[in-house]
Amino acid sequence: MQIIRDIGQLGSALIALRAGGHRLALVPTMGALHAGHMALVEEARRQADRAVATIFVNPLQFAAGEDLDRYPRPEEEDVRALEEAGCDLLWMPTPEQMYPPGFATSVSVSALSTRWEGEARPGHFEGVATAVAKLLSVIRPEVAMFGDKDFQQLAVIRRLVLDLGLGASVVGVPIVRDDDGLALSSRNAYLTAGERRRAVTLPQALQRAVLAIESGIAVREALDQAEQALSAAGFSKVDYIALVDALTLEPLDAPAGRMRLVAAATIGSTRLIDNYPVGMPQRQ
């Protein structure tokens, strides 16, 4: 695997990867890689001839008081994992390379960014969209891989690519979960042993809510039960639990069309997000 740290060397490296008409797949990450990221690399290798990964802890998507400074950065382990997964090239830009002096451009995807994560973390999606637009513009992959766990982010990026004509096909890769159901996340490393045991309440509560909605129970009742379960398990804050339209992300008071159950809640000092698809209620 070739490792590029200097953006001045990236262009020639990408030309070499494309030699012979090879297609490129991009896997953008912030590092602290786990099995979910490896699933992205695996899918990238299926979708294209060459897999390109990036590791960039993007300062624009962290608000004041969030975990930018303590975000895990295990570089050696990440490089080893990508090599073992068969990644062809890793680009690790610095903030100064991504946002050089005088950088004055930001990208905003308005309609899909206002609710849920956008409301809980103001400015977050503007930072994500700006970084992703920069990565796609520089690398110009034929396909780009993103995890379903960040479901709203996936919708924002799809809209971004479509609106700006960036040319990449955006592929969502299913959530990878631990044996007990907790969605894998780099931030899970923040959890104490006790918090980790109780964190599984999040996927469990969402799964019960999905079954309740699909069985015909009122949406509000199912969501309230899920929130009560999180509070009882020691989650200190529930930013949202909502049934949304899977395309527009608008909240649904009753089942309709393609749906997703989305949630964000904090246990200890760790904020967790998760989501599940929801089918229409079964006819009795």
Residue 215 falls inside a structural domain:
yes
Domain stops at, among 142, 173, 204: 173
d(CA 16, CA 10): 10
As for how many domains the chain has, the answer is 2
Domain CATH number, residue 120:
3.40.50.620
Residue 179 falls inside a structural domain:
no
Q: Are residues 98 and 33 in the same domain?
A: yes
Q: pLDDT value at position 43? A: 98
Residues annotated as catalytic (active site), given as ranges: 37
Q: What is the phi/psi pair of residue 89, to 5°?
A: -150, 140
Q: Are residues 110 and 191 in the same domain?
A: no
Q: Are residues 86 and 14 in the same domain?
A: yes
The whole-model pTM stands at 0.94
| Parent domain of 50 | 2-173
Residue 196 falls inside a structural domain:
yes
Residue 180 falls inside a structural domain:
no
SS3 for the chain is CEEECCHHHHHHHHHHHHCCCCCEEEEEECCCCCHHHHHHHHHHHHHCCEEEEEECCCHHHCCCCCCCCCCCCCHHHHHHHHHHHCCCEEECCCHHHHCCCCCCCCCCCHHHHCCCHHHHCCCHHHHHHHHHHHHHHHHCCCEEEEECCCHHHHHHHHHHHHHHCCCCEEEEECCCECCCCCECCHHHHHCCHHHHHHHCHHHHHHHHHHHHHHCCCCHHHHHHHHHHHHHHCCCCEEEEEEEEECCCCCECCCCCCCEEEEEEEEECCEEEEEEEEECCCCCC
Q: pLDDT value at position 86? A: 97
Domain stops at, among 152, 173, 194: 173
Q: Are residues 198 and 158 in the same domain?
A: no
Residue 284 falls inside a structural domain:
no
Residue 280 falls inside a structural domain:
no
d(CA 223, CA 149): 19
pLDDT above 80 for 283: no
Q: Are residues 221 and 96 in the same domain?
A: no
pLDDT tens across 68-104, in order? 999 999 999 999 999 999 999 999 999 999 999 999 9
Q: pLDDT value at position 282? A: 77
Q: Are residues 134 and 239 in the same domain?
A: no
Q: pLDDT value at position 103? A: 96
Q: Are residues 26 and 160 in the same domain?
A: yes
d(CA 41, CA 47): 10
pLDDT tens across 236-261, in order? 999 999 999 999 999 999 999 999 99
User: What's the CA angle centered on 277, arms 193 and 196, to 5 degrees?
Assistant: 0
Residue 78 falls inside a structural domain:
yes
Domain stops at, among 124, 151, 173: 173
Q: Are residues 144 and 197 in the same domain?
A: no
Domain CATH number, residue 263:
3.30.1300.10
Q: Are residues 229 and 271 in the same domain?
A: yes
Q: Are residues 154 and 196 in the same domain?
A: no
